[in-house]
Amino acid sequence: MNYDVVIVGASFSGLTLAHHLPKNLKVLVLDMKKNLDAYIESTGLITQATYDLLAEFVNVGAYIPNKIVAIGVIGTDFNRNFFSYSDAPWIYSTDTPQLVKHMSDTLPENVTLSVNSKFTDYKIDKNNDYSLEVFFSKNGQEQIVRSRFIVGADGAKSSVAKSNKSLSQNKKFLIGLEKVFYGNILLGPNPDKTVYHYWFGEFSLGYGGWLSPTVIKGKKAFRLGLAKLSENANEFGEIKDFVEMLKNKKMIRIEDSTEEILTFASMIPIGGPLKNVCDDYSLLIGDAAGLCGAFAADGIKGSVVSGKVAAKLITAYLNGEKNALKKYHVEIQKYNKLMTYYKKQMLYRWLWDRMKSNRTFDTMFDIISRSKEDFLNQFCDSKDRHKSLLSIVLKISNVPLLLKYSWYLFLDLFKMSEKGI
Ligand SMILES: Cc1cc2nc3c(=O)[nH]c(=O)nc-3n(C[C@H](O)[C@H](O)[C@H](O)COP(=O)(O)OP(=O)(O)OC[C@H]3O[C@@H](n4cnc5c(N)ncnc54)[C@H](O)[C@@H]3O)c2cc1C
Judge residue 250's burial from the number of C-beta atoms within 10 Å of its C-beta, 0-12 exposed, 13-18 middle, 19 or more buried.
Answer: exposed
Number of C-alpha atoms within 13 angstroms, CB side, residue 49? 18
Q: What CATH number did the domain enclosing 31 receive?
A: 3.50.50.60
Q: What is the DSSP string of 272-337?
A: -S-S--B-SSEEE-GGGGT-S-TTT---HHHHHHHHHHHHHHHHHHHTT-TTGGGGHHHHHHTTTT
Q: Is residue 259 assigned to a domain?
A: yes
Decide whether any atom of ligand 1 lies within 6 Å of the 32 Cβ: yes
What are the C-alpha distances in Å from 89 to residues 45, 54, 376, 379? 12, 16, 11, 13
27 and 143 belong to one structural domain: yes
- In this prediction, residue 381 carries a pLDDT of 43
- In this prediction, residue 416 carries a pLDDT of 60
What is the mean pLDDT of each successive set of 10 residues along the chain, which is 421 residues long? 97 98 98 84 90 97 94 91 88 92 97 97 92 95 97 98 96 93 94 92 82 90 90 72 92 86 91 97 98 94 98 97 96 95 92 89 87 68 59 80 89 68 44
89 and 102 belong to one structural domain: no
Q: Give 20-33 pLDDT, tens digit per residue.
A: 999 999 999 999 99
Cα 266 to ligand 1 centroid, rounded to whole Å: 8
Which residue has a Cα nearest atom 1 of ligand 1? 176
Cα 152 to ligand 1 centroid, rounded to whole Å: 12
259 and 391 belong to one structural domain: no
The domain of 313 spans: 2-41+98-170+274-341
Which residue has a Cα nearest atom 51 of ligand 1? 42
Q: Give 362-399 pLDDT, tens digit per residue.
A: 998 888 888 777 777 666 545 555 556 677 777 888 88
26 and 102 belong to one structural domain: yes
Decide whether any atom of ligand 1 lies within 6 Å of the 94 Cβ: no
36 and 118 belong to one structural domain: yes
12 and 140 belong to one structural domain: yes
Cα 263 to ligand 1 centroid, rounded to whole Å: 15
Q: What is the DSSP string of 324-375?
A: GGGGHHHHHHTTTTHHHHHHHHHHHHHHHHH--SHHHHHHHHHHHHTTHHHH
394 and 330 belong to one structural domain: no
Cα 165 to ligand 1 centroid, rounded to whole Å: 23
Q: Is residue 347 assigned to a domain?
A: no
Give the chain's domain count.
3
Decide whether any atom of ligand 1 lies within 6 Å of the 154 Cβ: yes
252 and 199 belong to one structural domain: yes
Decide whether any atom of ligand 1 lies within 6 Å of the 163 Cβ: no
Q: Is residue 58 assigned to a domain?
A: no
331 and 195 belong to one structural domain: no
Count CB neighbours of 247 within 10 A. Answer: 13
140 and 198 belong to one structural domain: no
Q: Is residue 147 assigned to a domain?
A: yes
Give the span between the Cα atoms of 67 and 88, in whole angstroms.
9
21 and 70 belong to one structural domain: no
Q: Is residue 134 assigned to a domain?
A: yes
Q: Could you give the 3-state DSSP secondary structure of residue 81?
A: strand
pTM: 0.93
Decide whether any atom of ligand 1 lies within 6 Å of the 81 Cβ: no
Contact residues for 173 (Cβ-Cβ < 8 A; gap 6+): 156, 229, 230, 267, 268, 269, 270, 271
126 and 218 belong to one structural domain: no
Which residue has a Cα nearest atom 10 of ligand 1? 298
Mark which of 269, 284, 305 sits at the end of a domain: 269
Q: What CATH number did the domain enclosing 73 receive?
A: 3.30.9
Mark which of 220, 235, 269 sits at the end of a domain: 269
